[in-house]
């Protein structure tokens, strides 16, 4: 990555400072829109804990509106006002969840719809989406359904795509700019800039549509005084139950996933702080940092290369198919998934099948683990791929379907899960075949917990976070079949106007060493920091304040609304170490902090910290590491 000369320019993606903002607009000719905003109540999880039974202790836990949903409500209010329309906030949850509707009304929503009742208890994403889609159907028609991009507790991002699939309408996901133009052609009424992983897309579509909001679309709606919630006129909130929505099943009975063991991942940091503010002490402090790094094995390059060879399943191959949904233009996550799929296929006596648009190099794919390829030539958008592959997979249900945990992978998988009625685990960090079933390890609450999720459906699905599965040594090529799937017989409903990539998210996901940068660094120094990081073979990552300021691409943001990473070594400079950032570094082997403030939160998150200006400490530290471990 090159910092300082970002390819972001012109009006695509958003130009000039402030880069943090998005936009919500409606043209003068737009009819009054009837808008729904789906809002989720989640726990504030900074002080969350598990009880002796391994379950989340809910007593005393503060509950609030999911941060992304706050953007949906704000954008909905703005569009309702601009078009003379209305906004209704909708939530699914117990009685206590009505506070999020009250907050939305205080922020400008015209009313609330509370889908509630004991029948909905235990809903997973598919059951939640079914209940919400049924409620939207029963109370529609709607022009626009706004959602948060994901909830920050479970972080699956599946519900918006599953609602869109159930309603049969387009989904725009990760929307950073949105505009409705009532004078445009019907299939271009809605235009948007989408923020996906490491790229930007400009798209157009018609109404109705589901829109999932990125964090920087607009300011969040927020009422700071919870006492105000009680002042909302209760008659503005309509309650509907299972009886109003049809036969069901609902809740746990409609949920094809089950949660098994849940573990809390407590990270113990050594939290040794070395006061080196006085320049004279810096050499001694750096010697101590180096000692700590050696003791912790942080200088020994972990072998991130191939650890094993891709398995070759044997036998007749009738144990079931493991399908990998290959994202167009992203070979690395596809290769990671194929290696894992081949291992699963070997365990169950099945075969690995890759769905992909083009086959450039069949030998490479065969070596990576594909026994068969289903080509959806010419079809690449998530919604279309889900539809094209659903037919053959529905006719012969596979044992499992794996997809990358990218924006594309999450949408294809979520839509396909609706079509196949399959359980889907989002953003898994591990996969295992146990007693003939797939068990996926799913982090939640910013990685503070990991749950084992299994599926009760015939086909078991998971999206997998990039960079967590090892890239295996290719096996010798072998039997390989390729079939072409029939194309869609209708034009795409979302028109892609432009697409640009401004980073490569695989680089950070797979980095062994990172330098994490906060806003205590001057942007003019980023080039020098990048050069120092380069000597360690390190990638740069950043706090939200840095990516908000546009100094580095958004794909570099680490934290609760950014990425979670697991490098062997992280050197954090110019950051205060706030929870929302450091939670994304929980997987780091060793963290070194550099900050002149002896009282900042960063020290609790470090194994060893230098109370110093990064300008004094980083270069000598890099020199010392290179001298001890050799150049990268
Ligand atoms: C809903 C929500 C989600 C969020 N999600 C994220 C997220 O995903 N990721 C994220 O990062 N943040 C996130 N945030 C923001 C987060 O809470 C913090 O505000 C942010 O991480 C702080 O960024 P910072 O450390 O760069 O800046 P600051 O907190 O301003 O810290 C700057 C630090 O730089 C130090 N400094 C100054 N000069 C030097 C120097 N010369 N050498 C060394 N250090 C120096 C200062 O002492 C200070 O401690 C989120 C916030 C909210 C509300």
Nearest CA to ligand 1 atom 41: 613
Predicted confidence at residue 50, as pLDDT, reads 62
Lowest-pLDDT range of 19-23, 264-268, 544-548: 19-23
Under a CB-based contact definition with an 8 Å cutoff, are residues 386 and 416 in contact? yes
| DSSP letter assigned to residue 472 | P
Question: Which CATH superfamily includes the segment(s) 264-303+510-629?
Answer: TPP-binding domain (3.40.50.1220)
**2 and 507 in contact (C-beta within 8 Å)?**
no
The first and second tokens of residue 188, run together, are 């271009």
| 533: nearest Cα among 604, 601, 592, 595 | 592
Asked if 256 and 126 count as a contact pair (C-beta separation under 8 A), the reply is yes
Residue 632 Cβ inside 6 Å of ligand 1? The answer reads no
Residue 13 backbone zone (phi > 0: left; psi -120 to 50: alpha; other: beta): beta
Q: Work out the pLDDT band at 4, boundaries 50, 70, 90.
A: very low
Atom of ligand 1 minimally distant from the CA of 67: 1
Q: How far is CA 118 from the centre of its chain?
A: 30
pLDDT digits (tens, 9 = 90+) for 175-199: 999 999 999 999 999 999 999 999 9
302, β-bridge pairs: none
Chain segment 436-468, per-residue pLDDT in tens: 999 999 887 767 778 899 999 999 999 998 878
Nearest 5°: the CA angle 258, 392, 208 is 75
User: Is domain 321-494 given the CATH code 3.30.930.10 in the classification?
Assistant: no
Pocket lining: 148 vs ligand 1, CB cutoff 6 Å: no
- Name the region of 301 (left: φ>0; alpha: ψ -120 to 50; beta: rest): beta
Cα–Cα distance, 236 to 232 (Å, whole number):
8
What would the two tokens of residue 61 be? 């836990």
Q: Which whole number is the average pLDDT over 65-69?
A: 95
In this structure, the chain runs to a length of: 632
Which residue is closest in CA terms to ligand 1's atom 11?
Answer: 543
Per-position b or e across 193-208, b if 16+ CB within 10 A of its CB:
bbbbbbbbbbbbbbbb
When mean pLDDT is compared across 167-171, 194-198, 347-351, 468-472, the lowest value belongs to 468-472
Unique residue bearing structure tokens 């004094």: 616
Mean pLDDT over each residue of the chain, to the nearest integer: 90
Confirm if 572 and 594 have CB atoms less than 8 A apart.
Answer: yes
CB 565 within 8 A of CB 556: no
At residue 490, does pLDDT exceed 90? no
Q: For residue range 581-601, list pLDDT tens digits in order.
A: 998 898 899 999 999 999 999
Alpha-carbon dihedral 505, 507, 509, 513, rounded to 10 degrees: -140
Q: Specify the residue with its C-alpha closest to ligand 1, atom 28.
A: 576
Q: What does the alpha-carbon distance between residue 95 and residue 103 come to, in Å, rounded to a whole number?
A: 15
Backbone phi, psi, residue 319, to 5°: -75, -10
575 alpha carbon to ligand 1 midpoint, in Å?
5
Pick the residue whose CA is nearest to atom 50 on ligand 1: 580
Q: Is 559 left (phi over 0), alpha (psi -120 to 50) or beta?
A: left
Q: Relative to the CA of 597, which ligand 1 atom is closest?
A: 47
Candidate of 215, 275, 578 to mutate for ligand 1, largest count of ligand atoms within 8 Å of Cβ: 578
Question: Considering only CA atoms, which of 227, 393, 228, 246 is closest in space to residue 324?
Answer: 393
For 97, other C-beta atoms within 10 Å of its C-beta total: 19
Q: What tokens appear for 284 in the block? A: 């001694």
Distance separating alpha carbons of residues 615 and 619, to the nearest angstrom: 7
Q: Is the confidence at residue 12, as pLDDT, over 70?
A: no
Superfamily grouping for domain 23-255: HUPs (3.40.50.620)
Closest-CA residue, ligand 1 atom 46, reads 520
Mean pLDDT of 346-355: 96
- Are 550 and 523 within 8 A, CB to CB? no
Bond from prior residue into 141 cis (ω within 30 degrees of 0)? yes
What are 276's strand-pairing partners? Answer: none
Task: Check for a shared fold between 23-255 and 264-303+510-629.
Answer: yes
Pocket test for ligand 1, best of 574, 597, 621 (most atoms within 8 A of CB): 574
| Domain locations along the chain | 23-255, 264-303+510-629, 321-494
In tens, the pLDDT along 200-256 reads: 999 999 999 999 999 999 999 999 888 999 999 999 999 999 999 999 999 999 999
The structure tokens listed for 575 are 């950051």
User: Which two structure tokens, joined as six digits, stand for 375?
Assistant: 């080509």
Are the beta carbons of 337 and 401 closer than 8 angstroms? no
Q: Which position has the token pair 């080196």? A: 276
* For helices 158-167 and 125-139, angle between their N-to-C axes, nearest 10 degrees: 40
Strands 437-444, 449-455: pairing is antiparallel
Helices 407-420 and 125-139 sit at what angle, rounded to 10 degrees?
A: 80
Q: Does ligand 1 come within 6 angstroms of the Cβ of 560?
A: yes
Contact yes or no for 340/319 (Cβ under 8 A) = no
The pLDDT value recorded for residue 59 is 72
Of residues 148, 510, 180, 201, the one with CA closest to residue 380: 201
Residue 489's pLDDT is 78
Question: Among candidates 595, 621, 518, 624, which has minimal Cα distance to 273?
Answer: 595
Q: Which of 519, 549, 573 to mutate to test the pocket of ligand 1 (most atoms within 8 A of CB)?
A: 519
Q: Ligand 1 mean position to 594 CA, how many Å?
A: 13
- Residue 278 pLDDT: 55
Residue 169 buriedness (CB in 10 A; 0-12 / 13-18 / 19+): buried
How far apart CA 571 and CA 133 sit, in angstroms, is 46
């Amino acid at each position: 990555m090159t910092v300082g000369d970002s390819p972001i320019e012109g009006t695509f993606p958003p130009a000039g400072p402030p880069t943090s903002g998005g936009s919500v607009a409606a043209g003068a000719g737009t009819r009054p829109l009837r808008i729904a905003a789906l809002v989720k109540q989640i726990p504030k999880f900074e002080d969350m804990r598990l009880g002796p039974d391994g379950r989340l202790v809910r007593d005393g836990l503060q509950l609030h509106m999911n941060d992304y949903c706050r953007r949906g409500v704000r954008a909905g209010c703005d569009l309702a006002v601009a078009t003379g329309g209305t906004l209704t906030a909708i939530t699914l949850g117990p009685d206590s969840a009505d506070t999020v509707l009250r907050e939305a009304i205080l922020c400008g929503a015209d009313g609330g719809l509370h889908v509630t009742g004991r029948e909905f208890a235990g809903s997973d994403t598919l059951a939640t989406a079914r209940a919400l889609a049924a409620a939207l159907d029963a109370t529609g028609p709607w022009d626009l359904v706004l959602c948060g991009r994901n909830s920050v507790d479970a972080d699956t991002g599946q519900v918006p795509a599953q609602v869109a699939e159930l309603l049969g309408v387009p989904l725009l996901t990760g929307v950073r700019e949105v505009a409705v133009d009532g004078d445009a052609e019907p299939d271009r009424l809605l235009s948007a800039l989408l923020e996906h992983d490491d790229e930007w897309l400009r798209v157009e579509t018609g109404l109705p549509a589901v829109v999932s909001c990125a964090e920087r679309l607009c300011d969040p709606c927020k009422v700071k005084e919870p006492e105000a919630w009680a002042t909302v006129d209760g008659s503005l909130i309509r309650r509907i139950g299972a009886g109003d929505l049809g036969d069901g099943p609902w809740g746990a009975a409609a949920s094809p996933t089950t949660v098994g063991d849940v573990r809390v991942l407590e990270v113990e940091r050594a939290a040794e702080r070395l006061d080196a503010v006085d320049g004279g002490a810096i050499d001694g402090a750096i010697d101590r940092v180096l000692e700590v790094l050696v003791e912790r094995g942080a200088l020994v390059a972990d072998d991130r290369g191939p650890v094993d060879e891709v398995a070759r399943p044997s036998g007749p191959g009738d144990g079931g198919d493991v399908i990998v949904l290959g994202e167009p233009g992203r070979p690395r996550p596809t290769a990671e998934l194929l290696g894992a799929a081949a291992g699963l296929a070997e365990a169950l006596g099945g075969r690995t099948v890759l769905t992909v648009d083009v086959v450039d190099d069949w030998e490479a794919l065969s070596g990576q683990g594909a026994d068969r390829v289903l080509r959806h030539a010419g079809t690449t958008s998530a919604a279309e791929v889900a539809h094209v592959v659903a037919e053959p997979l529905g006719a012969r249900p596979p044992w499992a379907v794996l997809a990358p945990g990218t924006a594309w992978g999450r949408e294809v998988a979520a839509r396909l899960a609706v079509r196949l009625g399959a359980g889907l685990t989002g953003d898994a960090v591990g996969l295992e075949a146990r007693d003939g079933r797939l068990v996926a390890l799913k982090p939640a609450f910013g990685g503070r917990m990991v749950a084992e999720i299994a599926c009760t459906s015939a086909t078991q699905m998971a999206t997998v976070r990039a960079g967590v599965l090892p890239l295996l040594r290719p096996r010798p090529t072998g039997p390989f079949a390729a079939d072409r799937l029939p194309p869609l017989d209708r034009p795409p409903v979302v028109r892609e106007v432009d697409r640009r990539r401004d980073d490569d998210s695989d680089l950070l996901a797979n980095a062994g060493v990172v330098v994490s940068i906060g806003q205590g660094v001057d942007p003019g120094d980023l080039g020098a920091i990048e050069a120092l990081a380069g000597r360690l073979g390190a990638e740069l990552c950043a706090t939200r304040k840095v990516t908000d300021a546009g100094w580095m691409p958004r794909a570099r943001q680490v934290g609760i609304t950014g990425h979670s990473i697991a490098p062997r070594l992280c050197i954090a400079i110019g950051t205060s170490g706030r929870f929302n950032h450091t939670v994304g570094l929980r997987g780091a082997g060793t963290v070194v902090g550099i900050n002149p403030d002896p009282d900042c939160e960063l020290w609790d998150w470090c194994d060893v910290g230098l109370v110093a200006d990064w300008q004094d400490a980083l270069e000598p530290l890099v020199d010392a590491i290179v001298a001890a471990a050799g150049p990268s």
